[in-house]
Amino acid sequence: MIDTLFRQVAADRSWNGETQIEILLRYLLRAAGQERHVSPSELTRYLGVSTASTTAIIDRLERSGHVTRVPHPTDRRSVRIVATVASDEEVRKTLGAMHGRMMAAVVDMSPEECAVVIDCLGRLQDALDQVEPHDPPHGDDAALPT
């Protein structure tokens, strides 16, 4: 079911695929675990897409049974977006299988090999931490960095 949804959303030019769906569902599930309400406008900011794209994404996820729109408990004008129990189970199953494959890939590594990988990942994380956030260039005349 989620594979079909991934293909459907990937076909939508406003959003590009399964990774973002998984990210969105994990975001909603994490918010639920924190007992935090997620509004459509929060999802728009989080995803970095237009409100129209967010609405289309929510509509598609709602039709597929992955999210529901729930009235906000204190603001009658607002709704919150909630991942369904089925989504939670699907994400856990997908991540569980992925984690199993990841463990199988490294289970036979020696302590020395693990130390090299950990050092490399630490260096990569340090490099990523040094990236300055910035707005991407807009328009056809935006210059590429040289």
Query: Quick one: pLDDT band at residue 11, thresholds 50, 70, 90?
Result: very low
Tokens standing for residue 89: 């189970």
Task: Report the candidate in 16, 11, 9, 25 with the shortest Cα–Cα distance to residue 68.
Answer: 25
**Overall domain count for the chain:** 1
Tokens of 139: 């328009």
Non-local (6+) Cβ contacts of 52 within 8 A are 14
Rounded Cα gap, residues 19 and 98, in angstroms: 13
CATH code for the domain in which residue 75 is found: 1.10.10.10
Residue numbers of the domain that contains 14: 2-129
pLDDT in tens, 105-135: 999 999 999 999 999 999 998 888 887 655 4
Percent of the chain with pLDDT over 70: 76
Within a domain: residue 142? no
The per-residue pLDDT for range 17-48, each reduced to its tens digit, is 566 677 888 889 889 889 888 999 999 888 88
State residue 108 phi and psi, 5-degree precision: -95, 15
